[in-house]
Amino acid sequence: MDAAWNHSTVLLTEAVDALFNNAPDAPESSSAGTYVDATYGRGGHSSLILSRLSAAGRLIAFDRDPDAVAQAGTIQDGRFSIRHEGFSHLRELPTGSVAGILMDLGVSSPQIDNPQRGFSFRFDGPLDMRMDTTRGESVAQWLVDAEVGAIAEVIRDYGEERFAGPIAKAIVARRQERGPISTTTELAQLVADTVKTREPGQNPATRTFQAFRIFINAELEELQQALEASLEVLQPGGRLAVISFHSLEDRIVKQFIAKHSRDEYDRRAPFAAPKVMKLKALDRVKPSAAEVSANKRARSAIMRVAQRTAA
């Protein structure tokens, strides 16, 4: 377990307040339900949620990272359970059984700061990037056989990188000349040598690393499945709070809430009753200046909050 790697939970009180109807001193009936921390990480949100629950309350956490699951195993609280699964497995919970769901997307600081996980271009380590190191292929393994078109598509679509084509060609050329890329340093240097211009203060490899991480973990697909599942498992009045850290995630969350926050009319049957909205959009929250000053990784965070309607 990676106990040496620290993590600062983003929007800690704001997120938990949102789940409990923005009331830290919510009545007993509000804290006796079942809540879900869909991305346990290192348990910051879970700890605060548990402190708000009554003895009858329950907290179910999900995480794909075996290190996170191991850390969660140290919690001695009968109200808490952890599942070593992606949060798309929300769909396995009983329909209408959950009072609140929190999704804190992206990568935790222990994952970024541990060189052996391969998430960061700042450290030399194996080019892995898997959230769950017990299954699936790493980025390095994928790059052994991936075609230039597929690599370019991933970098462009998931990294919004305008130099996706040249980077993909450089990766394949390097593979043909000297063998596959196997470390984070090798990839970061190759991208730096290929991308000659970049926004001030941003490492040239930032977008490529983001793209490969999102792709290898199917993060956007996982998010879409989890959001759809939330509609089924949330009880009427239940809260959904999602913290995103980049535009691709936030766009999916924003569009999902918008889609289900309005009545849907069937244009083929203009006189038929509309499908009633399933969500009510409540809030959009960003970290305070003080939080961003204390934790630079919070600067891009956006939390969107919605409530399940009775429909």
CATH number at residue 278: 3.40.50.150
Asked if residue 102 and residue 161 are part of one domain, the reply reads no
Asked if residue 244 and residue 284 are part of one domain, the reply reads yes
The count of structural domains within the chain is 2
Is 265 contained in some domain? yes
257-294 per-position pLDDT tens digit: 999 987 655 556 555 555 668 999 999 999 999 999 99
Asked if residue 236 and residue 295 are part of one domain, the reply reads yes
Over residues 47-61, mean pLDDT: 95
Over residues 158-179, mean pLDDT: 96
Candidates 218, 240, 219; CA nearest to 229 is: 240
Q: Give residue 83's domain range.
A: 12-109+219-308
Q: What's the confidence (pLDDT) of residue 27?
A: 43
Asked if residue 156 and residue 274 are part of one domain, the reply reads no
Asked if residue 282 and residue 252 are part of one domain, the reply reads yes
Is 118 contained in some domain? no
Which residues, listed in sequence order, are joined to residue 240 by a DSSP beta bridge? 101, 306
Asked if residue 293 and residue 244 are part of one domain, the reply reads yes
CATH number at residue 198: 1.10.150.170
Query: Which of these three, 193, 216, 239, is where a domain ends?
Result: 216
Is 284 contained in some domain? yes
Is 115 contained in some domain? no
3 state DSSP class of 75: coil
Q: What's the confidence (pLDDT) of residue 28?
A: 44
Asked if residue 209 and residue 234 are part of one domain, the reply reads no
Burial of 32 (0-12, 13-18, 19+ CB in 10 A): middle
Those residues whose C-beta lies under 8 Å from the C-beta of residue 110, and which sit 6 or more positions away, are: 2, 5, 6, 7, 42, 67
pTM of model > 0.85: yes
Asked if residue 197 and residue 239 are part of one domain, the reply reads no
Asked if residue 227 and residue 93 are part of one domain, the reply reads yes
Q: What's the confidence (pLDDT) of residue 263?
A: 60
72-108 per-position pLDDT tens digit: 999 999 999 999 999 999 999 999 999 999 999 978 8
Q: What's the confidence (pLDDT) of residue 262?
A: 76
